[in-house]
């Protein structure tokens, strides 16, 4: 059964239900996503606030979505997808939601490398880095590690849906010895948020995204970079490159760590928001 309903009523229902939980601008964005992506309404009808026909299933979906948002579930998990570097990636709890800043990391690697390149992505999560690189470097070979079996399941699904070949392995970087395989590039967006930074974070992250992929001890925030740099000294070819996404508060320390580890041409780069975000180095 379809019921005729006004767009203004849908907007009012979403806004009233979620008022105080989300800023107004975010509410407007959520309303558009709910109406367009989940309910499948025409974008012109949404913009012109036309009367629309909503099925019983549509009304239930609307109510369920609003209820999930009341519990601070990220809209990306509710929708089940997120756009990343021109592709649509599946996301679900257990794998970190890809962020726009990470697209800049992928873009930099693609600008600086080409051909039959061998790449290792450490801490692959949803596979957004590894899969994007494999898609845009078809002559290359991409391997990807993660300690989480759940994350690897999501990553494998994304590689399959986007029809690219990536070799995934469940690996704990703190328990693995350097492998015989050699790489031209090692890239990582590892956990880098300090435990004490939790107080500044929203419930949509703290309650839903995997802690394993987010946090590091306050007394050792660079532990992943140190370990990956150690592995890189054995697993990178001569002149091989490291690419890291970093905590903006620890740019100079990460640069110093890599310099002290024997790397050269260490560079700290800012993201589009002007924050220290990427560190690159050459073996």
Co-location of 229 and 149 in the same domain: yes
Residue 192 inside a domain? The answer is: yes
What is residue 31's three-state secondary structure?
A: helix
Co-location of 48 and 106 in the same domain: no
Residue 84 inside a domain? The answer is: no
Residue 49 pLDDT exceeds 80: no
Co-location of 29 and 159 in the same domain: no
Co-location of 184 and 45 in the same domain: no
> What pLDDT score does 48 carry?
67
Which letter does DSSP use for residue 147 in this model? S
Q: What is the dihedral of CA 172, 190, 261, 280, to 10 degrees?
A: 140
CA-CA distance, 101 to 179, in Å (whole number)? 30
Co-location of 56 and 97 in the same domain: no
Domains of the chain: total: 2
* pTM, to two decimals: 0.92
pLDDT in tens, 220-269: 999 999 999 999 999 999 999 999 999 999 999 999 999 999 999 999 99
> For residue 87, which of 160, 153, 168 has the smallest C-alpha distance?
160
Co-location of 124 and 212 in the same domain: yes
Residue 204 inside a domain? The answer is: yes
Co-location of 238 and 190 in the same domain: yes
């Amino acid at each position: 059964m379809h019921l005729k309903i006004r767009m203004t009523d849908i907007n009012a229902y979403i806004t009233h239900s979620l008022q105080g939980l989300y800023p107004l601008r975010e509410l407007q964005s959520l309303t558009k996503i709910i109406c367009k992506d989940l309910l499948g309404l025409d974008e012109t009808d949404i913009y012109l606030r036309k009367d629309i026909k909503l099925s019983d299933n549509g009304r239930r979906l609307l109510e369920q979505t609003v209820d999930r948002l009341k519990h601070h579930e990220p809209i990306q998990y509710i929708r089940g997808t997120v756009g990343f570097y021109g592709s649509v990636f599946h996301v679900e709890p257990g794998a970190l939601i890809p962020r726009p800043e990470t697209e800049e990391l992928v873009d930099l690697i693609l600008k600086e490398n080409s051909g039959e390149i061998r790449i290792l992505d450490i801490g692959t999560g949803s596979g957004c880095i590894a899969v994007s690189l494999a898609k845009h470097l078809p002559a290359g070979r991409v391997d990807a590690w993660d300690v989480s079996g759940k994350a690897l399941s999501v990553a494998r699904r994304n590689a399959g849906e986007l029809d690219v070949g990536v070799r995934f392995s469940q690996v704990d970087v703190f328990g693995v010895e350097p492998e015989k395989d050699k790489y031209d590039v090692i890239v990582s967006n590892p956990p880098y948020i300090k435990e004490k930074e939790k107080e500044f974070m929203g419930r949509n992250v703290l309650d839903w995204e995997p802690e394993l992929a987010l946090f590091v001890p306050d007394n050792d925030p660079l532990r992943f970079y140190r370990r990956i740099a150690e592995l890189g000294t054995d697993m990178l070819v001569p002149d091989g490159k490291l690419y890291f996404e970093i905590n903006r508060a620890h740019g100079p320390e990460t640069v110093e760590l890599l310099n002290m580890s024997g790397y050269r041409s260490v560079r700290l780069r800012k993201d589009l928001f002007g924050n220290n975000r990427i560190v690159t180095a050459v073996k």
